[in-house]
A and B are shown apart, each in its own frame.
Chain A
Amino acid sequence: MLALERVGKTYPNGVHALGGVSLDVALGEIVAVIGGSGCGKSTLLRAIGGLDPASEGTVTLDGERITAPHEKIGIIFQEPRLLPWLKVADNVGFGLGHRPKAERAERVASALQRVGLVDKAAMWPRELSGGQAQRVAIARALVPRPQVLLLDEPFSALDAFTRTDLQDHLLDLWADARPTLMLVTHDVDEAIALADRVMVMCPRPGRIFDEIEVDLPRPRDRQSAAFDFVKRRVLVALDRSLNRAVTSAEGETKTSAGAALWW
C-alpha cells in the first residue's frame, strides 16, 4: 500500500507548493489527480516518485520510506523521453541493465508485443510518431514490473484520437499485473475513464480538496449517462476548488465564469 502522510513541499525559493497531503492508495488501485494550474499535482507525483523528495511528511510503500527513486516505482513523463542514441528495443530494456542478456531480450520482446510495436524494435526513436514513442516509454516503465506506476500527464501532448486509444491501451496493460497507478491529468474524461478514485486538488498551497469515487464497471462507456453524471460531479468539485482558492464564504456554491473553461 502506498501511504502519504502530511506530505508537503516548500522550494528553496520559498514557494509553498504542497501543504500537507495525506492519502492512502491500495494495491492495484487507479487514482487520478486533477486540479488547476499550480495546485501541486506534479509536485506531489514527483515527491512520491522520489525525484523531488517532500520537505515535510512521509511517503511510504509497504512500510518502506521513499526518499529517492525506488525500484518498485516506475515513472512516465509527459514527453516520451526516449534516449535518442538507443534503438527502441534497447530503450525498452534500459531498466534491466543488471539482468542477463537472454532474460532481458525475452522481457523486451514480450513488452514490445504487448504495446504492439514488435516491428519497430530495431528503429531509432526519431523514426517514431508521438503516440508510438509514448507507447515505448510505457513499455520501458512496465518492463521492470513495478508495483506502482506514476504517470505525469502522459497523454497531454498527443491528439485526441491517440489519447483515447492509449488510455484504453493503458488499462489493457494494467490488467496484466495490476500495478497501482497514480495518474496526473488535465483531462477530466481521462480521469473518469481510467480511475477508481479522482482526487481534486486546489492550489496555494497545494492540497486535496475533494475525492470522488468512480464506481463504474470497466470497460467504461464515455458516452453513457452514468459517465456524464460522475463527470458533472468532478467538474463541480473543480469549480469549487478554484473558488476556494479565491476565498468565498464557507458553504457557498458560487460558480465563476472562468471555471467553465475546464479543458
Chain B
Amino acid sequence: MSLIAMTVAAQRSATEQRVASTHWSRWARPALGFMLPVTLAAAWEFVVRMGWASGRLAPPPSVIFATFVDLARSGELQRDTLVTLARVAAGFGIGVTVATIIGASAGYSAWVRRMLDPSLQALRAIPSIAWIPLFILWLGIFEASKVTLIAVGVFFPVYLGLMGAIQSVDRKLVEVGRAFRLTDVEMVRRILLPAVLPAYVISLRSGLGLGWMFVVAAELMGASSGLGYLLIDGQQLGKPAEIVAAIVAFAIVGKVTDWLIALVAAPFLRWEDVVRPD
C-alpha cells in the first residue's frame, strides 16, 4: 500500500472510531458514573442480608429507602427540604447581590479595591463556624442568623470571582470598544459583562456549594426544622437511617440546584471556546 493510501486509510478509521464512540458514549458515560456507587450499595445490601454485618450503624440501601418513604409519607421530608431550600435561596440571593455590587465596583475601580479588599480578605480568613455564636448573639436563633451565615458563605467566592474576572478582561477587546468610541456604560454592557460571564457563573456555582455547606452548620447549631435538623434528630434519637437519608437528600437537592444554574446559564455561554473533554 502506498504511503498516501495508508495515511488516508488510517484517517478514515480514526474518524469512524470517533463517530462510533460518540454513539456509544452518549449514554455510557453517565452510566459509568453511576456504576461505582450502585455497585457499592448493592454490595453492602448483600453483605447485610447475608448477616455478615449488622447494618445497624450503617444501614443498607433498602432501609434507607424505606426511611425515605416514611419521611415522605408523613410529609416531614418535604417540609424539611423546603425549609432548608428556602434558607439557602434567601442567603444565596442576598450574598450574590451584595457580592456582585462590591465585586463589580472593586474590579472596575482600583480606588474601591484598595479601600475594601484588604478588610474583606481579612474577613474571609475567618472560619465559617466561628461566625455562628456572634450571629446568634446579634440576630437571635431563628431565621435571621442562619440566612446571614449562608449569605456570608456565598459572598466570598462570588466577590473574588467577579473581581478577578473583571481585572482579567482581555485589554485587546477593551481596546476594540475604545476604537468604536463606546461610552462607559456601553463598555460595561457590551464588553465587560459578556466577557466576565463565564467566570461569574463559575463563581455562582461555587458560592451555591458553600451556601449548602453553611446551611448545615447553621441548622446543626439550633434548628427545629430543615434537613440539618433531621440530621441532629436522627443522631439524638439513635436513627442512623434518618441521618443517612438526610445526607442523601442534601446531596440530591444540592446537585439539582447546581445543575439548575448550569442549565439557566448554558444558552448564554454557547460561544465559549473551550476544550471539550472526550
Contact = CB atoms under 8 A, between A and B. Distances in A.
A85 B181 contact: no
A75 B179 CA distance: 7
Nearest to B175: A51
Contacts of B175: 51, 77, 81
Contacts of B180: 69, 94-95
Given A71-B181, A97-B186, A85 B197 contact: yes
B178 A85 contact: no
A107 to B, nearest CB: 15
Looking at chain A's contact residues, the main secondary structure is loop
B194 interface: yes
Q: Which of B180, B190, B272 gathers the greatest number of chain A CB atoms within 10 Å?
A: B180
A36 to B, nearest CB: 24
Interface string A91-128: 00011010000000000000000000000000011100
A126 B273 contact: yes
Which of the four size classes fits the interface of chain B? 10 to 19
Contacts of B178: 51, 69
Contact of A84 (B179, B186, B271): B271
Contact of A81 (B172, B194, B270, B272): B172
A124 B271 contact: yes
A124 B176 CA distance: 18
B271 A51 contact: no
Nearest to A79: B172
B270 A124 contact: yes
A49 interface: yes
B173 interface: yes
Contact of A69 (B173, B181, B191): B181
B195 interface: yes
Contacts of B186: 97
Interface of B: 172-173, 175-176, 178-181, 186, 190-191, 194-195, 197, 270-273
